[in-house]
Every structure is written in C-alpha cells, then in structure tokens.
Amino acid sequence: MFCNLFEVENKMLKVSENNLSFSSLVPHIEERLKLHHKLYSGQCKAELWEENCAYALRKAGFGSDWEPDYNHVVGVDQNTDCGIGISNKGGSLNANGMTMKISGSRLTKHKTISEKLEFLKNKPEDFIFCLATVKRDWERDKIKRYYFIVVDAKKLDYHNQDWYPTFNKNSNTTKTGYKCHAPLYDAKISKSMSDQIWTDISSNLFEEIHEIVIDNHVDL
C-alpha cells in the first residue's frame, strides 16, 4: 500500500488523537496463532510474534516493512506503509487483568539517569503491540489464551517522571537501579539486568485489548 505525504500526515494525526483502531488485525493474528499451535505447545514470542504481527498488518491493509533479518531500528520492530512505528512485545498480565508488565530497552551504554531518559524520550515507536498472557492460564489451567493489547508509546513518558535510586535491601550503599511512580504506570531500571527497564502498566493505558483463545484440540 503506497502512501503519499498527505496520507502519512493524516495517519499520524489520527495516531496523536488516538482515533486509529487496530481491531482489524485480530482475525489475522488468531489465524497465525492457530498455525503456531499446530506445531508448538509453547507461547508465540519474540521474532515469531514480530513476523505474525507483520502478516496481520499486511492482511489488514496497514502494510509492514518487517523482514526476517533482525536489522530493525532501535525501539521499533516494524513500520507500517504510512510510517507508524510499532514495537512488538510480550507482556505478563496479572490475574485480574488490571496491570501488565513489559520489559524494554537495556540502557547500560547510557551512563547517567539523564542520558537513559533522553534515550527513552527519543525512541521512535508510536505504538507498543503486546501479545500478553496470564501465567495461570498457561501453567495451571492449560488454556492457550492471549491478549492483543495496544499501548500508545508516547503515554509512557518516562522523561517527565521523577526517578529515584534503589538500593540493595541489605545495604544502603549498593545501588540496584532506579524507579519511578507515574499515575498510570510504575517503572524500574534494573542494574543487574544490564540496566533494562521494566514497566507495570495500568489497564487504563490500554488503547485496545482483544482476547484470543486457541483451542487445545487444534487438528494436526
């Protein structure tokens, strides 16, 4: 799908106004997850989720520049034909569906907290597409249930928050990272995990959430 400059500007205006719906991706995501579970019992994650998302974006008419070469821009796994930057992630929903934990960039090369926040501020992603799961569904109930959750990346405004250092519980001098508390999310940067950022997101920040359940008795 080719987009001229006016279409790109119009599409990005819709992004900023949160008028853009990705519900048309759901049947195509479900189609691919059914195929996934004809082969695998484990969850669809990482590059497999990226590729299945790219398939859904193309089938739904958004288009995608995703290629199986793992050479994407930092912070963006794929772009639509109209330039919408998408980051694909998993996500762990708590049992009541009120919060979701996601992992983000490793920030070791950015030495100070100011440098880390500046990097996060300038990441080019527009939306985060999460293929989230509830641990209990898979481990206890043996249900292959996914949640396709869309988050507006710009609402995770880490750079606007007050960050505080965290310390080892057995020592007041051994720094373990940083943390912040925003009205609709909490975040921490974990030194022991290459300064990776982890975010607990309130369901009030979910632009969309779609449940997808795959039959345990998919015919092989």
**pLDDT tens track for 165-211:** 999 988 777 899 999 999 999 999 999 999 999 999 999 999 999 99
Domain ranges of the chain: 5-214
Three-state secondary structure of the chain: CCCCHHHHHHHHHHHHHCCCCCHHHHHHHHHHHHHHHHHCCCCCCHHHHHHHHHHHHHHCCCCCCCCCCCCCCCCCCEECCCCCEEEEECCEECCCCCEEEEEEEECCCCCCHHHHHHHHHCCCCCEEEEEEEEHHHHHCCCCEEEEEEEEEHHHCCHHHCCCEEEECCCCCCCEEEEEEEECCEEEEEEHHHCCEEEEEEEHHHEEEEEEEEECCCCCC
Q: What is the pLDDT of residue 5?
A: 39
Q: Which residues contact 161 (CB under 8 A, 6 or more apart)?
A: 180, 181, 182, 187
What is the distance between the alpha carbons of residues 151 and 147, in angstroms, rounded to a whole number? 12
**What does pTM read for this prediction?**
0.89
Res. 3: pLDDT tops 70: no
Q: Give the separation between CA 185 and CA 197, rounded to whole angstroms.
A: 12
Q: Which pLDDT belongs to residue 170?
A: 81
Is residue 12 pLDDT above 70, yes or no?
A: no
Contact 31, 37 (CB under 8 A): no
β-strands 85-89, 127-134 pairing: parallel
Token pair of 36, please?
Answer: 């996934």
Work out the percent of the chain whose per-residue pLDDT is above 70.
89
Q: What is the pLDDT of residue 72?
A: 64
pLDDT digits (tens, 9 = 90+) for 40-87: 999 999 999 999 999 999 999 999 999 998 766 677 999 999 999 999
Residue type at 63 in one-letter notation: G
Give dist(CA 135, CA 146) in Å, integer: 11
Sign of CA dihedral 35, 41, 47, 50: positive
Predicted confidence band at 217 (pLDDT cuts at 50, 70, 90)? low
Mean pLDDT score, 139-165? 97
User: Which sign, positive or negative, has the C-alpha torsion 129, 45, 97, 159?
Assistant: negative
The mean per-residue pLDDT over the stretch 136-144 comes to 95
pLDDT of the residue at 75: 78
Whether pLDDT at 18 is above 70: no
What average pLDDT does this structure show over 99-123? 96
